[in-house]
Amino acid sequence: MSDDAIKFFKIALAGNPNCGKTTIFNQLTGEKRAVGNYSGVTVEMVQGRFRHENVEFELVDLPGIYSLTTFSKDEVVAREFLLSEKPDVIVNVVDASNLERNLFLTLQLKELGIPTLVVLNMVDLAKARGLSFDSKSLSEKIELPIIESVGSTGEGLDCFAISVLEALKIGVADETTGNYLRYSGQIEKEISLLDAAIDAKSRQIESDQKALDQPLGIQWLLTGGFSKEKGREVDRNYADSCDAPPVARRRRWLALKLIEDDESVVKSWNYPDIAKLASGCVERLSSSDGAPLAAKIAAERYANVRKICHDVVRNEKTAKVKLSDQADRVLTHPLWGLLIFFAAMYLVFWLTFTLGDYPVKLLERGQEIVGAWCNHFWLDSPNSLLRSLVVDGIIAGVGSVLVFLPNIIILFAAISILEECGYMARGAFLTDRFLTHFGLTGKSFIPMLVGFGCSVPAVMATRIIEDKKSRLATIFVIPLMSCGARFPIYMLLVPAFFPSRWQAPVLWGIYVLGIAVAAILSTIVTKFTFKGEVASLLIELPPYHKPTIKTAGAKAFERGWQYVRKAGTTILGVSILFWAASTFPTLPQDRATVYEEQETAILQESGALGIDLDAFDDVEPEAFDDLAPENKLSDSRERLGEQVAELLERRCQNNADEAEARLEYSFAGRIGKAVEPIIRYAGFDWRIGVGLIGAMTAKEVFVAQMGIVYKIGEVDEDSVPLQTILRNHYSPLVGLCVILFSLVAAPCLATVVVVAKESSFKWALAQWLTLTLIGFFAAVLIYQFGMFLQLGT
């Protein structure tokens, strides 16, 4: 390899939540990325790249973790990455103002045996709090290279690349010297016993040439080595020194994990003889007292860390640290804290819907303009399938989702400001008392709040809940938080069926009802689906700090972009699919001819009057007064106006009849007809059925579908003609039932997919069925009861 060839290294950024990892990531890669001051903001791992001379670094931002156990999804994700993705270097970001707790993770990372660089971050904050440390002596004690930095300004990061390369060199060399943390005598004895057994085993495997059959992770740990996979050019010097498998430390790590009874290591462990030996070790060690071994080992690690910190940290606490505690006196107060909290939540929603309304209106106008502009390309053939696909399918479908982008961005900006300043964790503490009554925890609160924006990021946000039971329960009820996509349904139906003074309370009631159903359902789900208690709240309250508009904006933008991507992929696909379902099969020629003949007849009549009907598409009736006086017919202008109006109405009716016939004949219409005998009990006819089936893909599709059914052309929720038609066709009772059904039943396709991904397919299916059945039977009950009271007229 020549000297100027590009070298490539993979770096994993690891650290506690709130240690400033993501800020450093942004500083290094330049990618504007969200930084949250709340445990587990990083739900997806984000990658970025940067270059230093002829070395290319790929940076992966792991979720914030406290430890390398497997009790939270974030920890599993981070550990799996470190074990199976083979990063060349771990960059461990450490919050200098909270050294003890952060070094606890550092020592565990060190035990993995991957070259590690420690970045002592937020040193400015630590100094402001009266802490001073000797980082040189710290580096000697933990036997890892250290650089100091201030992530927010980028101070100290200019030597980052060189330090990483240095750490790689040291780490690789260190691999063979084998300096690592020692535990107390008895534990150490058992470790070396297992270590020797694993060593013997790995030698045997090596000679058997079977190593490749072993499960991922274990295989890597046993065979060791930095990746030399195809297509990756690892610096030869480092690679060479890795040729002798540096398995010693990883063997030790495995032995330690077996003694800790680590779930995932034990599960993937398929050497029964060593497993038996390990359980013997565990028995001997735990006989002395009841505490689990892992906690005991953790306590030893902490004791080690404390000893290290005692020597290198000087603590002269200033008054500054008290400020956050003082704020908490009010903000976590059982009464004042709660009042402030609800005021804050009210503000968030007010901003989302009141402020967001203006840009939404603008976007809707834009959507209309784009639709009309696209229509221009098919002026000659308005019945072209391609036109229909582009305008009715893609622009109407994707557009109706995109118009809610401002709401989504505002809601997420508000949430990320609250997250970043540290208030969200307090919210979790304040709401925990109520939520535990319903089988949830305070940590369920944030995902549920996000759910009012969109269920998809909300379900992903549940990763912060370590306890599996309350996580699943939270996921289960998230669709009951009325998301932004259901808003247009309410905005179409509520004004259509309720007098104006009832509209606000009804809308408010819908949201409250959703929350109430969620509370009941989560209670039932946790009581009857899971065994055992739901784990209690345990959350770090990070010190308050000033949120920056830049990071909040960046996060809102990122979430918004995710939403746009969803619209561009899932919703686009679904729109096309749904368009196809409501277009094909097309009406047979003989039936289509009937409408065409009508159309021709109408056009002939208008032709006889010397009038181009198309020119009157958007014309108000009064405008007929402006008809050209030099018209060859001698009738008065009013007479002509009446004739034209009548022709227009006939044409409109004919078009509507044709559209209905087409829809009825299409797949969607047939499905609607097929379910009509069942949904009839809830007061729904086949047209509503088609709309609701459409809403299964994305809730807001309902509005567009009702528009198609009643062929009003371009429809939005403010569409007055559609509201009039609905009022003429259905009773308020039916309207209420549709709202209820939309609120509770059938979470949208994107939600189902993300739930299946985040929990299991079975759970997603159970959720879908449960919610749909509840929604349907609630609608039936209300409809039948209303009919009994004769409210249905």
Q: Which chain residues interact with other proteins by CB under 8 A?
A: 66-67, 69, 71-72, 97-98, 100-101, 104, 290-292, 294-296, 298-299, 302, 321, 324-325, 328-329, 332, 334, 425-426, 428-429, 432-433, 436, 441-442, 466-467, 532-533, 535-543
Query: At how many degrees (to 10) do helices 761-788 and 468-477 cross?
Result: 40
By beta-carbon proximity to other proteins, the closer residue of 236 and 433 is 433
Q: Which is nearer to other proteins, 231 or 290 (CB)?
A: 290
Q: How many CA atoms lie within 13 A of 98 on its CB side?
A: 19
Question: Nearer to other proteins by C-beta: 332 or 654?
Answer: 332
In whole angstroms, what is the distance from residue 560 CA to residue 249 CA? 44
- As measured in angstroms, the least distance from the Cβ of 268 to other proteins is 19
The nearer residue to other proteins, 232 or 468, going by C-beta atoms, is 468
Closest separation between CB of residue 432 and other proteins, Å? 5
With tokens 């096309």, the residue in question is: 576
Q: In angstroms, rounded to a whole number, what is the distance separating the alpha carbons of residues 6 and 235? A: 9
The CA distances from residue 791 to 729, 741, 784, in Å, are: 15, 18, 10
Both tokens of residue 227?
Answer: 């990746």
Retrieve residue 623's tokens. 């405008």
Output 445 or 490, the one with its CB closest to other proteins: 445
Report whether the peptide linkage leading into residue 585 is cis, meaning its omega lies within 30 degrees of zero. Answer: yes
Minimum CB separation from other proteins for residue 128, in Å?
A: 13
Terminal C-alpha separation, the chain: 85
Helix (H, G, I), strand (E, B) or coil at 464: helix
Q: H or E element: which one contains 313? A: strand 313-315
Residue 86 CA to residue 100 CA, distance in Å, equals 27
Beta-bridge partners for 13: 61, 91
Where b means 16+ CB within 10 Å and e means fewer, 708-746 reads bbbbbbbbbbebeebbebbeeebbbbbbbbbbbbbbbbb
| Rounded least distance, CB 656 to other proteins, Å | 59
Indicate the residue among 162 and 295 with the shorter CB distance to other proteins: 295
- Closer residue to other proteins in complex, CB, 190/432: 432
| Residue closer to other proteins (CB basis): 203 or 433 | 433
Q: What is the smallest separation between the CB atom of 426 and other proteins, expressed in angstroms?
A: 8
Rounded least distance, CB 282 to other proteins, Å: 12
With respect to other proteins, which residue has the nearer C-beta, 292 or 721? 292
Q: How far is the CB of 19 from other proteins (least distance, A)?
A: 11
Q: Does residue 85 contact residue 10 with C-beta atoms inside 8 Å? A: yes
- The widest CA-to-CA distance across the chain, in whole angstroms, is 115
Nearer to other proteins, 253 or 741 (CB): 253
- Residue 362 makes CB contacts below 8 A (sequence gap 6+) with none
Q: What residues contact 405, with CB distance under 8 A and at least 6 apart?
A: 363, 560, 563, 564
CA–CA distance, 546 with 658 (Å, rounded to integer) = 61
Can you tell me the distance from the alpha carbon of 598 to that of 592, in angstroms, rounded to the nearest whole number? Answer: 10
Apex CA 786: angle with CA 785 and CA 790, to 5°? 120
Measured from the CB of residue 296, what is the shortest distance to other proteins in angstroms?
8
**Least distance from C-beta 291 to other proteins, angstroms?**
6
The Cα–Cα gap between 106 and 141 comes to 12
> Contact, 416 vs 36, CB < 8 A?
yes
| Minimum distance from residue 192 beta carbon to other proteins (Å) | 23
Q: Closest separation between CB of residue 99 and other proteins, Å?
A: 8
Would you say 313 and 279 are in contact if contact means Cβ atoms under 8 Å apart?
Answer: no
Q: How far is the CB of 100 from other proteins (least distance, A)?
A: 5
Q: Between residues 66 and 768, which has the closer beta carbon with respect to other proteins?
A: 66
Minimum Å distance from CB 322 to other proteins?
11
- What token pair was written down for 704? 């567009």
Please report, for residues 70, 249, 264, 483, the alpha-carbon distance to residue 285 in angstroms, rounded to integers and kept in the order given: 22, 22, 21, 52
CA dihedral 26, 31, 34, 36 (to 10 degrees): -10
